Amino acid sequence: MESLGNVIMYVIIALTIIVFSVLAVTTKKILRSATYLLFVLLATAAIYFQMDYEFLGATQIAVYAGGIVVLFVFAIMLTHKPGEDAAPLTSNKRILGLTACGLGVILCGVALFGFAKFASKSLPSMDDFTIDKLGQALLSTDKFGYLLPFEAVSVLLLACIIGGVVIARKR
Amino acid sequence: MDLTLLMYIVPSLIMFGCGVYGFITRKNMIAMLISLELMLNSVDINFVVFNRYLFPAQHEGMFFTLFAIAIAAAETAVAIAIIINVYRLAKNVDINQITKMKF
């Protein structure tokens, strides 16, 4: 049995995700689309907080809401002619899009509700996942250690910085 | 009322469907990238929710999501660099008008 506050929180999160993700792909203004994406990302961070993964929620807010959305806004500003209103977003191939989306959602939905018995257990308790356990796991080479992916990500980010500078610099 | 696994998967499924729809119908490259972010984000939710509900003693899904967020940030940065470069060369980011690389 969940507490009433959790249930209300869940309803708000689910409604936010559904409404704003539909709006983000149907709105006519691109800056609004980026703003709706921000709301969806914040609701996702709220899901992570509900799952007791506080560090992951903080990362989601810092990297996605703080980094990627700002990057999107900068890109939108840089790819429009100054002094003009942004051209409205138009859509084509609506029927193809609706068919692909509808078929995918129905297929996955049928598969999900086929496993409804398996998927209908309530939230199990988890021992406290503190930040020092996370740090130990990230930098250890044991069975559940993540040193190799951690270093691989740092090399990837370096390559990405160099690539971004090389691609976007003025010639 | 219990909050079950299914109740978290359904919003994530709808988010993924919106991402697919936007990726197919949008013509602006940045709007397509926004749809792509929606899809990536729904997959991250699935990892965390399955990890938390089915295997609460381990944290593999959580670590996978952590690395997926880092890689998604890198991918977005490079994609936006490419889009800005395309805008400099072609003066727009509409995929129907950028046809020079087609053969």
CB spacing of A108 vs B13 below 8 angstroms: yes
pTM value is 0.90
* A59 vs B: CB within 8 A: yes
- What type of residue is A88? P
Q: Three-state SS across chain B? A: CCCEHHHHHHHHHHHHHHHHHHHHHECEHHHHHHHHHHHHHHHHHHHHHHHHHHCCCCCHHHHHHHHHHHHHHHHHHHHHHHHHHHHHHHCCCECCCCCCCCC
Express each pLDDT in A142-167 by its tens digit.
888 899 999 999 999 999 999 888 88
**Which of B3, B12, B15 is closest, CB to CB, to A7?**
B3
- Asked whether the beta carbons of residue A56 and residue B48 sit closer than 8 angstroms, the reply is yes
Residue B52 lies in a domain: yes
Task: Collapse the DSSP code of A117 into the 3-class scheme (helix H, G, I; strand E, B; otherwise coil) and give the result.
Answer: coil
Is A45 in contact with A61 (CB distance < 8 Å)? yes
Which two structure tokens, joined as six digits, stand for A123?
């939230």
Distance of CA B83 to the CA centre of its chain: 17
Per-residue pLDDT reduced to its tens digit, A19-72: 999 999 998 888 899 999 999 999 999 999 998 899 999 999 999 888 899 999
What CATH number is given for A4-91 in this structure?
A: 1.20.120.1200
Is there a domain that residue B101 lies in?
A: no
Is residue B25 in a domain? yes
* pLDDT above 70 (res A86): no
Question: Which pLDDT belongs to residue A103?
Answer: 93
ipTM computed for the complex:
0.92
CATH number at residue B83: 1.10.287.3510
Q: Tell me which residue range forms the domain holding B68.
A: 5-90
Nearest residue, CB atoms, A25 vs list B9, B35, B48:
B35
- Please tell me what DSSP assigns to residue A113: H
pLDDT of B102 reads 64
Q: Could you give the CA distance from residue B24 to residue B27 in angstroms, rounded to a whole number?
A: 8
% of chain A at pLDDT higher than 70: 93
Question: Into how many domains does chain B fold?
Answer: 1
CB contact, 8 Å: B49 with chain A?
Answer: yes
Q: Which residues of B touch A31 (CB under 8 A)?
A: none
Q: Is A49 on the interface with B (CB under 8 A)?
A: no
Measure in Å the smallest separation between the Cα of B81 and chain A Cα atoms.
Answer: 5
- Please judge whether B13 and A112 are an interchain contact, meaning their C-beta atoms are less than 8 angstroms apart: yes
CB spacing of A119 vs B6 below 8 angstroms? yes
Angle at which helix A4-26 crosses helix B29-54, to 10 degrees, equals: 160
* pLDDT for residue A2 is more than 80: no
Mean pLDDT of chain A: 87
Chain B residues touching residue A7 (CB < 8 angstroms) = 1, 3
User: Quick one: pLDDT at residue A84?
Assistant: 66
Domain definitions of chain A by residue range? 4-91, 130-171
**Does residue B103 have a pLDDT over 70?**
no
Residue A167: what pLDDT?
Answer: 84
A70 touches chain B (CB under 8 A): no
Q: What is the mean pLDDT of residues A131-137?
A: 88
Between residues A17 and A133, the one the model is more confident about: A17
Q: Which pLDDT tens digit goes with each residue over B55-82?
A: 888 888 999 999 999 999 999 999 999 8
* Residue A152 confidence (pLDDT): 93
In chain B, what percentage of residues exceed pLDDT 90?
55
* Per-residue pLDDT reduced to its tens digit, B76-92: 999 999 898 888 888 87
The residue of A3, A19, A68 whose CB has the most chain B CBs within 10 angstroms, and thus the best one to mutate to test that interface, is A68
Q: Is A103 on the interface with B (CB under 8 A)?
A: no
* Residue B100 lies inside a defined structural domain of this protein: no
Residue burial A92-106, b: 16+ Cβ < 10 Å; e: rest: eeeeebeebbeeebe
